Amino acid sequence: MEWPRKLDISNERYYYDDAMFFSQDPVANISAVVHPNYNQGMHIHSFYEINVVLKGCGRHYIENYSMPVSRGNVFIIPPGISHGYWHEQGLDVFHLLIKKSFFKQFTLELGSLPGYSSLFEIDKKLPIIYEKTMFLKLSETQLEQLSSQLDLFIWAVWNPYEGRDVILTGNALSLIGRLCSFTGERRSKDDGLSRDVYASWISQCMDYIQQNIKDKLTAKNLSAQFNLSYSTFFRHFKKICHMTPLAYINKCRIQKAIMLLSGTNLSITEIAQQCGYFDSSHFTNCFVAHSGMAPLNYRKKLIKNHSGD
């Protein structure tokens, strides 16, 4: 069956906020749902989403990229990333929705998990590295191991009871831990200098860029940071990311700016500083070149989508 090269924006809404999927209880950080025969136009949301493909096949789209999906595919979709699904045959997808505050609350615990950065940070950098080899694909055995946990999420969400949020939080931490463990198992089976080993190295470099986005970053400085020659660094970065280090740095700065525009009340000058731009004028020029509109207009558009007007 021929699949569409590009998905249209969702007919219902384009921007989904916390209030649409979480209870009014301020401690409610988690929700879950299974969508059968899943077809969903492009959309963004204010929360994180862990998707597990339970059965069938179709295609997953993130911004201007897409890949075929089937039973066992796992995706972590961060806030502010446009994505959607195209149903081909019985595509059932489990969605675990998690507020940003959850990850802030458990930053130390999650950060200590082996494989957490590899799994979650790679997905945060989408669609820069949108290739099948970069994503977790669960085996049948692993899916069976997770089935009771996924069922517990659905049961708890639809059967309110005292202490439910504690159970959901503990189950979410456990699920993330197991996904990280599965990621580590996959990496341990890789041979020598396989593509995933290069991807792991690139992931560390990308982590450094994300964590130091306010600083002056160049390909030459990054290659020295990782004790590599400039030519080796540049070649492998471009091979895996399909763009130069500078292009990726610029992309990260724009993505962080979008998150700050949508999730904070910081001024344009403050956002420019947080994202590593020389001044607000430089930031505005770069943002217009990327999105076609000025930062303030982009923020107004997000507010309008949020209000449903």
Give the number of other CB atoms < 10 A from CB of residue 167: 15
Query: How many residues appear in the chain?
Result: 309
At residue 116, φ and ψ (nearest 5 deg) are -60, -50
Q: Which CATH superfamily is domain 195-307 in?
A: Homeodomain-like (1.10.10.60)
The per-residue pLDDT string of the chain (309 residues; one tens digit each, 9 = 90 and over) reads 578 888 887 666 678 888 788 866 666 889 999 999 999 999 888 899 999 999 999 999 987 788 899 999 999 888 888 889 999 899 999 999 999 889 878 876 886 777 676 676 544 444 444 444 457 889 999 999 999 999 999 999 888 788 888 899 999 999 999 998 887 676 555 444 444 455 666 767 877 887 788 999 999 999 888 778 899 889 888 877 778 999 989 988 998 898 788 778 899 999 999 999 989 999 999 999 988 899 999 888 877 765 554
Task: Look up residue 288 and give its amino acid.
Answer: V
Q: Domain limits of the chain? A: 15-188, 195-307
**Model pTM above 0.75:** no
Read off the tokens for 62.
Answer: 């993130």
Question: Among 3.10.580.10, 2.60.120.280, 3.40.50.720, 3.40.50.740, what is the CATH number of 15-188?
Answer: 2.60.120.280
